[in-house]
Amino acid sequence: MFDKKNRAERTADEAWEHLSSAWSSAGESAGRAAGKAGRKSRKLATVAGDRVTSVTDEALARATAAADALAGRRPARPWGLILAIGLAGVAAGWAAASAARAAIERQAEDEEIELAETAVVVTPTYDDH
């Protein structure tokens, strides 16, 4: 049992070291690219900086997910997405119910009009015997 845990810990440590070194080298090369771009133009430096930020954010997210997976932790549920889908379902259900209610009311009105148009008025006749 301890052997498996030690092996898992060693694997996690090695993976973390690889991720850290890859992240460091990516940051250094991106910094050099931003420096070169800065000499050419401040706008290019800003664009390069934005790209570096998005790349490092993605790298951090992936590294954290990898470390969590290696540690046996499951990713969090996307509660915001689940809530949004639930609300969309409620709205769609409400719209469908409203449309069905309106259709039933229209059908009842049409039947009432048809009955009124085709109604025969019967008046009793009195016989004078």
Contact 5, 13 (CB under 8 A): no
Judge if 109 and 94 occupy the same domain: yes
Cα separation values, 38 from 24, 34, 45, Å: 21, 6, 5
The boundaries of the domain holding residue 39 are 6-71
Judge if 47 and 83 occupy the same domain: no
For the CA atoms of 40, 43, 48, 53, the dihedral, rounded to the nearest 10 degrees, stands at: 150
Judge if 18 and 65 occupy the same domain: yes
pLDDT digits (tens, 9 = 90+) for 5-50: 677 777 777 777 777 777 777 666 666 655 555 555 666 666 666 7
Given this model, what pLDDT does residue 77 score?
Answer: 86
pTM for this prediction: 0.40
Residue 92 resides in a domain: yes
